[in-house]
């Protein structure tokens, strides 16, 4: 048995998920994700660095504003600590059966008792010891953890950006403990998602001061993390809105600007979530490319949104068109570095069979594995790159080159413009879309 099971097996009847190839009709098998298959010198597992998200898979019970829980977890216990330990067992059983090499969690996902600060610390560290034991037994690694400083009513006006210093300090208590636990568990990254770091109305908000507080807080977290031996990457996860009306880390470009404005660029990168990019009015690939272009791609929350909905539906990725374009940006970045593809995604409220969480991850992993193979082929054959290179060829020599090198002034440029011969050139978008489809379908 090459998966982890504690004293109880929670997902009975489901074995380790294996690769069977694209002809397989076995719902509990991979069709494209073949962990050890080599693609351009690395295994699929090394390229994709998948992670299971604790909060969606072992905490979200299907409750929504219109209805109560529908998903019954096999590990539920009435004592909160016993529940946390049983949940950890079920989580590691799931993670090793599905075969993501990594996992991610919030403090509140793994440990109970966040109301009283001292109980919070005690419980969290007890559970962290239990997680470490399970990591060692299973070889599963921590991609990142983070502090849940958005659910509790304490944080209704923000965490690091709260107008009340007492709340800022309470958020710091959680972040400090999360960094301690991260180092204990060998975390490769640490995430800040600014769930309530934003505002609802300017009528009660000093935005300048709040952004400065956020930067001060992140700088302190960076300094503390480095002082206790955290060697990984600090990540900020952009999102434009929800739960606040205006979130400060709106999208990749805004977040990169913030990171640079406050001198955090040597330690911080972005964690790009597909559905957050689309909420910001971009495509997933756009926000990845913004990061790739500025050396700021840290990690990815792999999910997808719903074209007809304006909120964060956090669906499992199934759109292979999107995963292919995403993998092109990731491969051109030279991979994900310390980051990975974390399934920040949930099954639908009416997906209530215990196997549904397996099927969801299989679909997500297959969609990215497929995207990886197609993206590598597109890059290897270089047709798109060749087309783009040719499109900018007028900057490769002569005056265009001098322009790029900063050797012309506006007067020079304007005189060239006086006699410029402008020939209309098609952008060939339809040709390129057809070409992309031929790779996807071929």
Catalytic residues: 106, 109
- Per CB under 5 A, the segment of 167-175, 200-208, 344-352, 426-434 that binds Ni ion is 344-352
- Per CB under 5 A, the segment of 64-72, 98-106, 139-147, 297-305 that binds Ni ion is 297-305
- Count the site residues for ligand XLS by CB under 6 A: 10
* Shortest distance in whole angstroms from residue 149 CB to ligand XLS: 9
Q: Which residue of 180, 301, 315, 322 would you call a contact of Ni ion, by CB under 5 A?
A: 301
Q: Which residue of 344, 363, 373, 374 would you call a contact of ligand XLS, by CB under 6 A?
A: 344
By beta-carbon proximity to ligand XLS, the closer residue of 119 and 313 is: 313
* Shortest distance in whole angstroms from residue 326 CB to ligand XLS: 16
By beta-carbon proximity to ligand XLS, the closer residue of 107 and 267 is: 107
Give a three-class secondary structure readout of the chain.
CCCCCCCCCCCCCCCCCEECCCCCCCCCEECCCCCCCEECCEEHHHHHCEEEEHHHHHCCCCCECCECCCCCCCCCCCCHHHHHHHHHHHHHHHHHHHCCCEEEEEHHHHCCCCCCHHHHHHHHHHHHHHHHHHHHHHCCEEEEEECCCCCCHHHCCCCCCCCCHHHHHHHHHHHHHHHHHHHHCCCCEEEEECCCCEECCHHHCCHHHHHHHHHHHHHHHHHHHHHCCCCCEEEEECCCCCCCCEECCCCHHHHHHHHHHCCCCCCEEEEEEHHHHHHCCCCHHHHHHHHHHCCCEEEEECCECCCCCCCCCCECCCCHHHHHHHHHHHHHCCCCCCCCEEECCCCCCCCCCCCHHHHHHHHHHHHHHHHHHHHHHHHHHCHHHHHHHHHCHHHCCHHHHHHHCCCCCHHHHHHHHHCCCCCCCCCCHHHHHHHHHHHHHC
Phi, psi torsion values for 46, nearest 5 degrees: -70, -35
Q: Which residue of 267, 273, 322, 373 would you call a contact of ligand XLS, by CB under 6 A?
A: 273
- Give, as ranges, the residues between 101 and 120 that touch ligand XLS (CB under 6 A): 106
239 is a contact residue toward ligand XLS (CB under 6 A): yes
* Shortest distance in whole angstroms from residue 342 CB to ligand XLS: 8
By beta-carbon proximity to ligand XLS, the closer residue of 267 and 301 is: 301
- Give, as ranges, the residues between 312 and 341 that touch ligand XLS (CB under 6 A): 312
437 C-beta neighbours (distance < 10 Å), count: 11
By beta-carbon proximity to ligand XLS, the closer residue of 123 and 342 is: 342
- Give, as ranges, the residues between 304 and 323 that touch Ni ion (CB under 5 A): 312
Pick from Ni ion, ligand XLS, none: which does 146 bind, CB < 5 to 8 A by kind? ligand XLS
- Give, as ranges, the residues between 284 and 313 that touch ligand XLS (CB under 6 A): 301, 312
By beta-carbon proximity to ligand XLS, the closer residue of 85 and 149 is: 149
By beta-carbon proximity to ligand XLS, the closer residue of 275 and 289 is: 275
* Shortest distance in whole angstroms from residue 237 CB to ligand XLS: 5
- Give, as ranges, the residues between 370 and 389 that touch Ni ion (CB under 5 A): none
251 is a contact residue toward Ni ion (CB under 5 A): no
Please give the residue ranges that form the binding site for ligand XLS (CB under 6 A): 106, 146, 191, 193, 237, 239, 273, 301, 312, 344
Please give the residue ranges that form the binding site for Ni ion (CB under 5 A): 273, 301, 312, 344
């Amino acid at each position: 048995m090459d998966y982890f099971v504690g004293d109880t097996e929670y997902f009975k009847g489901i074995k380790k998920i294996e690769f069977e190839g694209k002809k397989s009709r076995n719902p509990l098998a991979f069709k494209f994700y073949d962990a050890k298959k080599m693609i351009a010198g690395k295994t699929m597992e090394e390229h994709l660095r998948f992670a299971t998200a604790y909060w969606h898979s072992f905490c979200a019970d299907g409750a929504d504003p219109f209805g109560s829980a529908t998903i019954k977890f096999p590990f539920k216990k009435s004592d909160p600590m016993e529940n946390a330990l049983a949940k950890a067992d079920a989580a590691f059983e799931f993670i090793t059966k599905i075969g993501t090499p990594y996992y991610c969690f919030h403090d509140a996902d793994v440990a109970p008792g966040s109301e009283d600060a001292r109980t919070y610390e005690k419980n969290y560290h007890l559970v962290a010891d239990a997680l470490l034991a399970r990591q060692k037994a299973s070889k599963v690694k921590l991609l990142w953890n983070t502090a849940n400083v958005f659910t509790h009513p304490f944080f209704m006006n923000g965490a690091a950006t709260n107008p009340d210093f007492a709340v800022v300090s309470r958020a710091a208590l959680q972040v400090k403990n999360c960094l301690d636990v991260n180092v204990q568990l060998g975390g490769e990254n640490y995430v800040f998602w600014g769930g309530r770091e934003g505002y609802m109305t300017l009528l009660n908000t000093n935005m300048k001061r709040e952004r400065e507080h956020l930067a001060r807080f992140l700088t302190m977290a960076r300094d503390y993390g480095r002082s206790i031996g955290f060697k990984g990457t600090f990540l900020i996860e952009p999102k434009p809105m929800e739960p606040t009306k205006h979130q400060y880390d709106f999208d990749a470009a805004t977040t990169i600007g913030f990171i640079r404005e406050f001198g955090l660029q040597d330690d911080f990168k972005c964690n790009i979530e597909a559905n957050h990019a689309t909420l910001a009015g971009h495509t997933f690939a756009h926000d990845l490319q913004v990061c790739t272009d500025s050396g700021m791609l840290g990690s990815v929350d792999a999910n997808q949104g719903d074209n007809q909905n304006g909120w964060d539906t956090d669906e499992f990725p199934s759109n292979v068109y999107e995963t292919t374009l995403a993998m092109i940006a990731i491969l051109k970045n030279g991979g994900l570095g310390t980051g990975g593809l974390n399934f920040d995604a949930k099954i639908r409220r009416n997906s209530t069979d215990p196997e549904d969480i397996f099927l969801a991850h299989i679909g997500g992993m297959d969609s990215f594995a497929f995207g990886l193979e197609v993206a590598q082929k597109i890059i290897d054959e270089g047709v798109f790159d060749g087309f783009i290179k040719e499109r900018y060829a007028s900057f490769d020599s002569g005056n265009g080159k001098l322009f790029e090198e900063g050797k012309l002034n506006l007067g020079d440029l304007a005189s060239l413009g006086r006699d410029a011969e402008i020939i209309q050139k098609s952008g060939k978008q339809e040709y390129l879309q057809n070409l992309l489809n031929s790779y996807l379908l071929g």
